[in-house]
Amino acid sequence: MVITCLNENFSPIDTLTCGQIFRFTEISDGKFLVVSKNKACVLFSFNNETIIECEDADKDYFHNYFDLDRDYAKIVEFSKNQRVEFLEKATEYGKGIRILNQDYFEMLISFVISQNNNIPRIKKIIEKLSVALGEKRQFKGYVYHSFPSLTAILSKDEGFYKSIGLGYRASYILSVANAVKDKIIDYNSLKDLTTKEIKKKLLSVKGIGEKVANCITLFGLHKSDSFPVDTWIEKIYKEDFLGKETSREKITEYFIDKFKDYSGYVQQYLFHYKRNFIK
DNA sequence: CACCAGGTGTCAG
DNA sequence: CTGACACATGGT
């Protein structure tokens, strides 16, 4: 099964390398294997189109996963017209980014691992986790491993997570998994709440702070009134927005107040541009 | 050797 | 409430 769309607002490389997803590999020049939950697809651009190849049964899943029903031209236009020069450049640079509709539980665990860590190492740890606790599968001859289930994650102890490189975050992953098991932050308990209410619940769990909570609402629940503030965004806030606040909670508030329901998209343009284009 | 990476928990003031 | 510090690990 093949899904095609115009690539004007869908750049595979920018969408995959902007830091929202950790499970992809380049299988040949510009061609990627993308893994989500227990499914995989092949993604690439050809001429003026972006092409997604997947199993017939997964067509709807990946159509939604790549957020194909949303009008990104409108988002790009909004972002470019905020009278902030740095943001205008960042948007032009990252206009092909789409915010994926990834699996909630996968995002929860992935972003707990991400804290005070760098993206290449996060990818390695998540791959180890999936090889150890996920199921081995294949798509078009490419072998991949599904993301571990809650049960699989709860079946191991802190020592195991330290052994695959989680360091001091080993206890956090179990704390978060148990909070899901206890129905405190499972998907069904959160899906109908407002973004603020969801963040409050997430923050009550040991191992989830302000930044990770925003990543989970944005990447796991597509709540675009989220704005994760990490070291890069903190730098942008000081250098390019000349902000004076110091707490990440206040900085998040500043941006969400400014960009409302577009905050999450704006955040991605800024982060991607600063990390890749600016030295 | 120090410093950094998609930070958070804890504790002193 | 805010600021400092510890916390694993691997890369410059």
**Residues A104-128: tens digit of each pLDDT:** 999 999 999 999 999 999 999 999 9
Within 7 Å: CB of A200 and strand C? Answer: no
Distance in Å, residue A248 CA to nucleotide C3 C1': 13
Res A208 pLDDT > 70 = yes
Interhelix angle A231-239/A263-276, nearest 10 degrees: 90
Map tokens 């290449």 to a residue: A120
What pLDDT, on the 0 to 100 scale, is given for residue A24?
98
Which nucleotide, over all strands, has the C1' atom closest to the CA of A166? Answer: C8
Give chain A's mean pLDDT: 97
For A143-166, how does the pLDDT look when each residue is reduced to its tens digit (9 = 90+)? 999 999 999 999 999 999 999 999
Q: Is a pLDDT exceeding 70 seen at residue A86?
A: yes
What confidence tier does A50 reach under pLDDT thresholds 50, 70, 90?
A: very high
pLDDT band at A141 (very low <50, low <70, confident <90, very high): very high
Separation in Å: B8 C1' and A221 CA: 22
How confident is the model over A161-202, as pLDDT tens digits? 999 999 999 999 999 999 999 999 999 999 999 999 999 999
The reported pLDDT for the residue numbered A138 is 98
Residue A168 CB lies within 7 Å of the nucleic strand C: yes
Task: Look at residues A69, A123, A67 and name the one whose alpha carbon lies nearest to residue A99.
Answer: A67
Residue A52 CA to nucleotide B2 C1', Å?
45
Average pLDDT for A130-138: 98
Asked if residue A178 lies in contact with residue A172, where contact means CB atoms within 8 angstroms, the answer is no
CA distance A99 to A85: 23
pLDDT at A259: 98
Percent of chain A at pLDDT above 70? 100
pLDDT band at A279 (very low <50, low <70, confident <90, very high): low
Residue A262 has pLDDT above 60, yes or no: yes
Q: What is the mean pLDDT of residues A41-60?
A: 97
pTM above 0.85, yes or no: yes
Stretch A251-262: mean pLDDT, rounded? 98
